[in-house]
Amino acid sequence: MRADQPLLLLDTGVGGLSILGPIRALLPRAPIAYALDQAGYPYGQKSETELAARVPALLGRLAEHVDARLAVIACNTASVIALDPVRAALAIPIVGTVPAIKPAAAISKSRVIGVLGTAATVRQPYVDNLSREFASDCTVIRHGTHELVALAEQKMRGLPTDPGAYARVLDGLFGQPGGEKIDTVVLACTHFPLVEEELAAAAPHPVTFVHGGEGIARRAAYLTEGQPWPAEPRPGTAIFISDGSDPEPLRAGLARYGLENFETL
pLDDT value of position 33: 98
The Cα–Cα gap between 184 and 200 comes to 11
Task: State percent of the chain over pLDDT 70.
Answer: 100
Contact 96, 9 (CB under 8 A): no
210: Cα separation from own chain's centroid: 12
Report residue 257's pLDDT band, with 50, 70 and 90 as the boundaries: very high
Non-local CB neighbours of 255 within 8 Å, separated by 6+ positions: none
Give CA separation, 238 vs 22, 106, 215, 265, in Å: 17, 35, 23, 11
pLDDT value of position 232: 95
- Is 13 exposed, middle or buried, given 0-12, 13-18 or 19+ CB atoms closer than 10 A? buried
C-alpha closest to that of 19 among 108, 81, 100, 85: 100
DSSP state of 153: H
Q: Which residue in the list 17, 35, 72, 75 is annotated as catalytic?
A: 75
Is pLDDT at 246 greater than 90 in this prediction? no
pLDDT value of position 244: 84
Q: Which residue in the list 189, 216, 238, 254 is annotated as catalytic?
A: 189
Count CB atoms within 10 A of the CB of residue 90. Answer: 16
pLDDT value of position 243: 86
pLDDT value of position 120: 87
Residue pLDDT, tens place only, 69-89 = 999 999 999 998 999 999 999
Task: State percent of the chain over pLDDT 90.
Answer: 90
pLDDT value of position 138: 97
Residue 24 corresponds to which amino acid?
R
Q: Where are the alpha helices (DSSP H) in 91-181?
A: 101-107, 119-122, 125-134, 147-156, 163-174
The Cα–Cα gap between 57 and 129 comes to 27
pLDDT value of position 115: 97
Judge whether 189 counts as a catalytic residue.
yes
The Cα–Cα gap between 92 and 15 comes to 23
Non-local CB neighbours of 34 within 8 Å, separated by 6+ positions: 8, 9, 11, 16, 17, 20, 236, 237, 238, 239, 254, 257, 259
Mean pLDDT, residues 213-235: 96
Mean pLDDT, residues 132-156: 95
Mean pLDDT, residues 46-53: 91
Q: Strand 7-11 and strand 70-73: pairing?
A: parallel
- Is 161 exposed, middle or buried, given 0-12, 13-18 or 19+ CB atoms closer than 10 A? middle
224: Cα separation from own chain's centroid: 20
Average per-residue pLDDT in the chain? 95
**Is cis: bond before 193, omega within 30 of 0?**
no
Judge whether 138 counts as a catalytic residue.
no
C-alpha closest to that of 70 among 185, 203, 198, 219: 219
Is pLDDT at 46 greater than 90 in this prediction? no
Mean pLDDT, residues 189-195: 96
Residue pLDDT, tens place only, 113-133 = 999 999 989 988 989 999 999
